[in-house]
A and B are shown apart, each in its own frame.
Chain A
């Protein structure tokens, strides 16, 4: 499965992704699915500062990324796909495009309306409902900030108050 990481993380490209995940998973390409970033070259340049030579980096609108998921899953390129939040994940999952795809919740931080679930994961009631819907479409959702951490499956996250 060449779409080796699909991660929800507000920080998008940062140390945990580059050092923690990209190396061990031998990622060849990082795709950021984000409508605003796809239009902002200077912000793309900032994110690219953190990407080592040898890893390609692309910024696509969410709808474009969704249309390419099936091809990425069939292809040979080892891809990490990043989105910044649950709403973007929900849009990616439209049409069942994330069926059987593992989804990694890696970093959603405190904000008004959100409750702490894990140290690195805070969810609002709306986000919990959205995640439930994405899971119902066939995605296998769990939380794990780094590869050596215990994966917490969505069923446990949805009932958990840390």
Chain B
């Protein structure tokens, strides 16, 4: 039996959330409402928490934040403490958001674990050869 689809909400600084939602729409072609953007611009803590409450809807909800702490992370975690069927995932990136839109029917705990793994796996690093050489020389 499938779960009720999870409502996604991105809560982030400045225009990060709207940018991420635009990118997800461009790549995955989702409709409005699957993933809603919310900025903390101009919001005090109480106003931000009210906005998150409103946009989370009535069913299961997953709130993505850009940072683990700060006003966005704090509002998300406050909502998790007061609202059943709610989770927060901090450090949102495009890879995890794309995975989210195709797996919204998973139970919330399973979905969160999956997205954390997927988001982490999407982070890699590489340096050009000259940087690598310089690091090696410094180590010697």
Contacts and interface: CB of A to CB of B under 8 A. Distances in A.
A158 B123 CA distance: 48
A interface, size bucket = 10 to 19
A50 B71 CA distance: 10
B70 interface: yes
Task: Give 6 nearest A-B pairs by CB, closest first.
Answer: A50-B69, A109-B44, A14-B70, A49-B69, A10-B44, A11-B71
A14 B13 CA distance: 11
A126 B107 CA distance: 49
B44 A108 contact: yes
Question: Which secondary structure characterizes the binding site on chain B?
Answer: helix
Interface stretch (B3-11, B26-34, B73-81, B92-100): B73-81
Interface residues of B, number: 17
B47 A11 contact: no
A14 B69 contact: yes
Contact of B73 (A10, A49, A51, A111): A49
Given A14-B71, A108-B44, A111-B47, 8 more contacts: A10-B45, A15-B70, A46-B74, A46-B77, A50-B68, A109-B43, A110-B42, A110-B47
A113 B131 CA distance: 56
B42 A11 contact: no
